[in-house]
Structure 1
Amino acid sequence: TPKPRGEHDLILDSIWDDFKDNFNKTYSRRSEPLRRLAWEENLLKVHLHNEEAARGQHNYTLRENHMADMTVSDYLREMVKLVRSRRRRCDDSDILMMASPDSIPDEVDWRKKGFITPPMNQKNCGACYAFSISTMVEAQVYKTTGQLVHLSEQQIVDCSYETGNLGCQGGSVKNTMRYVKKNGLMLDNVYPYTNKQTICKYRATSKIITISDWRLLPPHDEEALKVAVAQIGPVVVSINASPHTFMLYHNGVYHDKDCTSDKVNHAMLLVGYTKESWILKNWWSEHWGVNGYMYLSRGKNLCGVANFAAYAIL
């Protein structure tokens, strides 16, 4: 006979039920014990980290979010899908050499300038490349016209195979830029996000924006990143999102020594900076980070934030 469940187990049962309700989770009988085990381990990580943060050992906190039932391998397999471009070499003309004028402000936040986009959720489709490029182009439209438009991520997911992307299995910033330059983008309400890859429904007559070109920033150069965000607007950055602390980030200035700059696997939108941090928009819903944003420590190329940054020219 199974041994009776203790008070601790019953409390955990109740918290687990709350988690499933809050995040609308349903599991098969076979998968639930594995998901629950992952969730318990993540809950412990959050608790221990936040205790250390309360003692002044970290400048950021973690929390349970909709990914808290994932093991690290689940998370890496499903959520971080930025891949290398199939065309490795970039012409030097693609790389913009940034001048560094003295007039660059100490702090910039494009949200305070009116570029406010709702929290987004890529769900379990590896489409960070589509979200990052579409919102970056939206930012350029806003800077040029003052209008907020929502461009179609789904179009990029479904249709950018021709330039080497892999739908929900991932894509690259360069491949996506090449696709958008060639085809332009439709509106999200005409071609909405479905969280899966479907047949391409692009219609050239429905595109509302095209880009004339795109540029890469000098790699590993945070000063160039600062100048670009201040002068050009939000830029796409590639990030190492591997650490479990990244998956469970809540608020504060993120700094995990394990977030090395030797690899990148996730694309985000850099919307501004403070004296000590970069302000990054993510696609993991409002339950992740600060309403979908992260503050990432500046100055050490943490998580490879300056390895591969890009922007479009309308």
Structure 2
Amino acid sequence: MRLALVSLLYFIFAGNLVLCQQNDSSQIYGEQFEKFKKVNNKSYIRPYDELRSYKAYEENHQIVNEHNKDYDSGKSSFRLTTNTMADMSTDSYLKGFLRLLRSPLISPSDNMADIVGSALMDNVPDSLDWRKKGFVTPSYNQQSCGSCYAFSIAQSIEGQVFKRTGRILPLSEQQIVDCSISHGNQGCTGGSLRNTLRYLQATGGLMRSVDYKYASKKGACQFVSELAVVNVTSWAILPANDEKAIQAAVAHIGPVAVSINATPKTFQLYSDGIYDDVTCTSSSVNHAMLLIGYEKDYWILKNWWGEMWGESGYMRIRKGINLCGIANYAAYAIV
């Protein structure tokens, strides 16, 4: 059969994507996509899913190439790459990974500690990285579950435990996913930092991850109070849009959970360097990360998308302009 190759045609043969256009760039993208699948252990249930993923990969690859020209010429301070999310369209990325719900306004019934303010503003070092102090945790991957809120709060508590004891005590994100529904969270379809903090305060405790393993899906609540290893007495938020207060909290309290706008394509495909895309506005936030340190010009954030994203699961982001709304809502539990 003769095929009029006016546009790119795809065929699936023996589970592999074959590009049937006599075009060098298409052949290159096809070969790179096959390597991408192997490196990231990607597989697709239906042929249509693979075709759609290939198209997204090709478009993202072109975006990466164009942006990195600016990086090479000194016009950008960060690079992009065809990371583990490179086979996702913007729509798939937004729906699949950015599930942070807006934190509701503070209620008079909340037994919350005072908002952190001037008391912590003294004796703040110019730079700090909790990893250099020994707080190094695995490159977690939330997978297809929108559980960033659970990871951010649990890891913030782990950071406080480490600050006090020098030990890393892995805590259960799955407990938060399964059990915080009663306080407004929605399992794998999203949650907020405030709802999570309210749940932990009401419950009083958080189990170890070894006793309540992460499953990347919502299940029935299996919390056992006798197995709780950390008690949450209250919680605190940081003044909105005040990066100096956040810096003081990171120095004196430990790593803090922050909400952030992860919408831009450059965020999705971030590789390394100091992220400074000014199109990443502070008008809304849709993801939660852990702020673990800072230098003079940038923050250091830990993400939950595996070690193949960013700088082995971390990100550096420009400091001082509330980029991506990093100072919109930051909070931590008091243990």
1:229 corresponding residue in structure 2: 250
| 2: CA distance, partners of 1:286 / 1:96 | 32
8 A contact 2:68–2:79 mirrored in 1:
yes
CA shift digits 1:206-235 (9 cap, x unpaired): 111111111000100011111111111111
Q: Please show how residues 68-217 of structure 1 align to structure 2 within 5 Å.
A: 68-85=86-103, 87-91=104-108, 94-99=114-119, 101-183=121-203, 184-217=205-238
Structure 1, unaligned stretches of length 5 or more? none
CA shift digits 1:116-167 (9 cap, x unpaired): 1111100111000000000000001111111101101111111100111000
Does the alignment pair 1:15 with 2:32? Answer: yes
1:36 corresponding residue in structure 2: 54
| 2: CA distance, partners of 1:94 / 1:161 | 26
What is the deviation of 1:88?
A: 2.2
CA shift digits 1:160-214 (9 cap, x unpaired): 0011100000000011011112221111111111111111111111111111111
RMSD of aligned residue pairs (Cα, Å): 1.4
1:279 corresponding residue in structure 2: 300
The verdict on how the C-alpha distance between 1:307 and 1:90 changes in structure 2, with shifts beyond 3 A counting, is farther
Number of equivalences: 313
1:25 corresponding residue in structure 2: 42
8 A contact 1:152–1:193 mirrored in 2:
yes
8 A contact 2:113–2:235 mirrored in 1:
no
| 2: CA distance, partners of 1:113 / 1:36 | 42
| 1: CA distance, partners of 2:242 / 2:303 | 22
Does the alignment pair 1:255 with 2:276? Answer: yes
CA shift digits 1:27-74 (9 cap, x unpaired): 211211111101100001111101111011100001111111111111
- Out of 288, 291, 294, the residue aligned to residue 309 of structure 2 is 288
Letter in 1 for 2:232: I
| 2: CA distance, partners of 1:101 / 1:154 | 34
SS at match of 2:85: coil
8 A contact 2:261–2:287 mirrored in 1:
yes
8 A contact 1:140–1:312 mirrored in 2:
no
Does the alignment pair 1:220 with 2:241? Answer: yes
Structure 2, unaligned stretches of length 5 or more? 6-19
CA shift digits 1:217-268 (9 cap, x unpaired): 0100011111111111111111011101001111110001110011111111
| 2: CA distance, partners of 1:133 / 1:115 | 15
The verdict on how the C-alpha distance between 1:101 and 1:193 changes in structure 2, with shifts beyond 3 A counting, is closer
% identical equivalent positions: 48
8 A contact 1:186–1:206 mirrored in 2:
yes
* Structure exhibiting the larger radius of gyration computed from Cα positions: 2
8 A contact 1:98–1:227 mirrored in 2:
no
Letter in 1 for 2:30: D
- Scaled by the length of structure 2, the TM-score of the pair is 0.90
| 2: CA distance, partners of 1:26 / 1:203 | 37
| 1: CA distance, partners of 2:200 / 2:71 | 43
2:327 corresponding residue in structure 1: 306
| 1: CA distance, partners of 2:267 / 2:177 | 24
| 2: CA distance, partners of 1:138 / 1:93 | 19
| 2: CA distance, partners of 1:166 / 1:303 | 24
Letter in 1 for 2:26: D
The verdict on how the C-alpha distance between 1:113 and 1:93 changes in structure 2, with shifts beyond 3 A counting, is closer
User: Larger deviation: 231-240 or 99-108?
Assistant: 99-108
| 2: CA distance, partners of 1:11 / 1:40 | 10
| 2: CA distance, partners of 1:70 / 1:266 | 17
| 2: CA distance, partners of 1:214 / 1:29 | 48
8 A contact 1:98–1:228 mirrored in 2:
no
| 2: CA distance, partners of 1:74 / 1:186 | 32
- Scaled by the length of structure 1, the TM-score of the pair is 0.96
User: Larger deviation: 87-96 or 74-83?
Assistant: 87-96
| 2: CA distance, partners of 1:190 / 1:93 | 29
